[in-house]
Structure 1
Amino acid sequence: MLRRLFAVALAAVALLLVPVVPAQASGAKPHVLVFTKAADPKQEHTATSTDVNLLQMFGRRYGFEVDATDSAASFTRPTLDKYDVVLWLNNYGDVLDAKQQRAFAAWMSRGGGYVGVHGASRAERHWKYYHDLVGAFEVTGEGQPTTARTVAVDTDQSPARYAPEQLEDHDDQWYHFDRDVAKRKGFDVLATIDGGLNDSTLPVAWCHKFEGGRAWYTSMGHSSKNFEDGDFEKLLRSGIWWAAGIKSQPMVNVSDSTPSWPYGLTFLAWIAAVAAGGALAVVRLNRRERLA
């Protein structure tokens, strides 16, 4: 009995070591649906399931709720109206039928927020609405090896304001597109890499207001390592915040890539002493039981 009580006491002490999860200052809690369907299983990204787990972990840590599905059956008004943002992650091909397309477009017109990541620009190539929503379709890059590039971020733009000015040596798979969003009216380019031709730059993240809603896309995010990169994660969270239409302080700030350890040495020494004292008590208890 005493041993069980001691184990419970140690578990309670261990809970004290769990870092406090920062929530948004306003108490607003965006709800995000991550949509991962690929029409061709051979085109599925192997990292997608891990990416979803990481997004859900980010949500728990930074104060937004994340659900995930690979089923287009979620594209109905009752389901979509539960969410502030639908994040399309590494999709491919025709993933919605006509009724589901109408439901999604109607949700966007009611103020919905679209976030597209990497392969999301390879979906719904026959649907003009989606082409205009995402801004451009991938034409080359998928299947190519990753390379490390420096990404320049325009932090003067509201949807990237809380991201770092550069993502140095960011290793990713770089897409080229059928449209130059930098030349499209209403689009804000948020991040670029050196395009390699005549001092050109290649947009890798952008956003725009679209038919009553907001759309934010990045071609980055090919592998789970990208989602583990604090700077990329910060840029992505900035996009989710903007797409959700939240006017208050976002779930990201300029110094949160690496969280500081919230406990001082005095507190840790106290924890060590409690653990040592408990261990000694167990030893004494065992001796008494043997003598008895």
Structure 2
Amino acid sequence: MQRTARLAVIAAALLLGSTALPAGHAAERGAAEGENVLVFSKTAGFRHDSIPDGIETVRQLGEENGFTVDATEDAAQFTPENLARYDAVVWLSTTGDVLDDAQQAAFEEYVRGGGGYAGVHAAADTEYDWPWYGQLAGTWFDSHPAIQEATVRVEDHDHPATAHLQDEWVRTDELYNYRANPRARTHVLATLDESTYDGGNMGEDHPITWCHAFDGGRSFYTGLGHTKESYAEPDFRQHLLGGIRYATGAADADCSPPDGAEEPGYTPIFDGTSLDGWKQAGPGSFELNGDGTMTTTGGMGLLWYEAKEYPAYSLKLDWKMAGDDNSGVFVGFPASDDPWTAVDNGYEVQIDATDAEDRTTGAVYTFQSADIAARDAALNPPGEWNAYELVVEGERLRIYLNDVLINDFTNTDPARSLTDGYFGLQNHGADDEVAFRNVRVKELTPPVR
């Protein structure tokens, strides 16, 4: 069953440095030869009793629709040579850390060579220390309420996973909440209507199924499929089939995020063209680069958002160091034209490549180190973009790096208060070069004291 065509694609991609499969290539090959699919269901955490039903369903779908199916829980099958046999890998309710470093590298190579990924349900509860996987899946699992009936609202009827569904799809399942909304970087196919069930925590925009082109390959994910009964439902079986056919390349679909997509509830406060609402305190400045970014210049100063005070909020931004540079995001300080007010009265979420653990990236500077193992697993190196989310609620500050929680800090100093809701970006000095982009904020409800 060796797929020489797949090997040729991967070899060509590696040789040429390409990250994209030629348009229509997989679909044309599949029409001539049929697709091969690998179902992977290894678990290192919770194990779903629906996994055997899921495997049997994919086998039946393959028999009915002309593709072959192998199933495994052996991570040793994740080698370049073996993966090259398959057009897509279905991660069926995998959980925890299921691949070692070499196996992860093989799967990354496979996707970059044009391979497909179809994640089902707990595939989002997998490989939290592998940032690339989180980006491939779209986001990670956060929590779930009890199994119950809910309404799924279909946004895209052109994708093969949702073309057969009505605008409203009422079904019973275990309904995941996610750590981050994937809409800004994926094409959302369907959402959950949180008003129709109890326990949702993502608000009015709660994606449950999405797809995207990623790193040369194709990715489809559905959060549905917890229960055994799901795999006997004709609509869910067709949903799963459509996702697999997109992942293999047998079916075309537009899975690009909409132009200018923004996360609902977030207000952009730096869009790359203007510093309206911001104010520089102290020496130095931030230089607009004309490409949607700004870069620190001189210092030590602070560019702080003066336009509005947020006592409780989620602040998201991307940052990139040129090398061993220094900057930070200050939170919880009162309005002032003196940058030392933020130093003396607020807290700095540090950006620095090589300092002590309580003074390097992800630390609350001099107060609390990040979880270094989690930070190192999530961190992209100098020269690459990283994403921070800082969640301030009451005196609690949570720091997410590339969607991974790396620090959870609570202020107990009566001389400081995180409820003073100003925040700012540090320009540390002439020898430090740190760029920022996509700064946006979402106001949260302050906790009851």
Decide: shared fold, TM above 0.5.
Answer: yes
Q: Does 1:106 align with 2:76?
A: no
Match of 1:138 among 133, 138, 141: 141
Which residue type is aligned with residue 163 of structure 1?
H
Q: Which has the higher contact order (CA 8 A, sep 6+)?
A: 1
Bigger mean CA deviation after superposition, 52-61 or 98-107? 52-61
Structure 1 195/73 Cα, relative in aligned 2: closer, same or farther at 3 Å?
Answer: same
Q: Does 1:35 align with 2:40?
A: yes
SS of residue in 1 equivalent to 2:95: coil
Provide the residue aligned with 1:230 in structure 2: 234
SS of residue in 1 equivalent to 2:218: strand
Structure 1 207/159 Cα, relative in aligned 2: closer, same or farther at 3 Å?
Answer: farther
SS of residue in 1 equivalent to 2:139: coil
Match of 1:51 among 49, 54, 64: 54
What fraction of aligned residue pairs are identical, expressed as a percent?
35
> Cα distance, 1:29 vs. partner?
1.7
Provide the residue aligned with 1:190 in structure 2: 189
Tell me, in whole angstroms, the C-alpha distance in 2 between the residues paired with 1:68 and 1:156: 30
> Cα distance, 1:155 vs. partner?
3.4
Which residue type is aligned with residue 60 of structure 2?
M
> Cα distance, 1:161 vs. partner?
5.3
SS of residue in 2 equivalent to 1:155: coil
C-alpha contact 1:84 1:244 (8 A) present in aligned 2: yes
Match of 1:119 among 114, 118, 122: 122
> Cα distance, 1:73 vs. partner?
0.7
> Cα distance, 1:158 vs. partner?
3.1
Which residue type is aligned with residue 146 of structure 2?
P
Provide the residue aligned with 2:206 in structure 1: 202
Tell me, in whole angstroms, the C-alpha distance in 1 between the residues paired with 2:91 and 2:202: 33
C-alpha contact 2:124 2:141 (8 A) present in aligned 1: yes
Tell me, in whole angstroms, the C-alpha distance in 1 between the residues paired with 2:229 and 2:206: 22
- Divergent runs of 4+, >6 A: none
Tell me, in whole angstroms, the C-alpha distance in 2 between the residues paired with 1:30 and 1:161: 21
Provide the residue aligned with 2:340 in structure 1: none
Provide the residue aligned with 1:96 in structure 2: 99
State how 1:212-251 maps to structure 2 within 5 Å. 212-247=216-251
Tell me, in whole angstroms, the C-alpha distance in 2 between the residues paired with 1:74 and 1:154: 36
Q: Which has the higher helix share?
A: 1
Provide the residue aligned with 2:377 in structure 1: none
Q: Deviations over 1:154-180 (max 9, x none)?
A: 334435453312463310000001111
Structure 1 110/169 Cα, relative in aligned 2: closer, same or farther at 3 Å?
Answer: same
Tell me, in whole angstroms, the C-alpha distance in 2 between the residues paired with 1:27 and 1:163: 25
SS of residue in 2 equivalent to 1:38: coil
SS of residue in 1 equivalent to 2:123: helix
Provide the residue aligned with 2:410 in structure 1: none
> Cα distance, 1:198 vs. partner?
10
Tell me, in whole angstroms, the C-alpha distance in 2 between the residues paired with 1:146 and 1:243: 28
C-alpha contact 1:155 1:165 (8 A) present in aligned 2: no
C-alpha contact 1:84 1:113 (8 A) present in aligned 2: yes
Superposition CA RMSD, Å:
2.3
Structure 1 247/134 Cα, relative in aligned 2: closer, same or farther at 3 Å?
Answer: closer
Which residue type is aligned with residue 63 of structure 1?
G
C-alpha contact 1:85 1:240 (8 A) present in aligned 2: yes
SS of residue in 1 equivalent to 2:206: strand
Q: Which has the higher strand share?
A: 2
Tell me, in whole angstroms, the C-alpha distance in 2 between the residues paired with 1:194 and 1:84: 33
> Cα distance, 1:61 vs. partner?
1.4
Which residue type is aligned with residue 56 of structure 1?
R
Structure 1 159/61 Cα, relative in aligned 2: closer, same or farther at 3 Å?
Answer: closer
Give 5+ residue unaligned stretches, structure 2: 1-29, 196-200, 254-449
TM-score by length of 2: 0.46
Tell me, in whole angstroms, the C-alpha distance in 1 between the residues paired with 2:159 and 2:165: 13
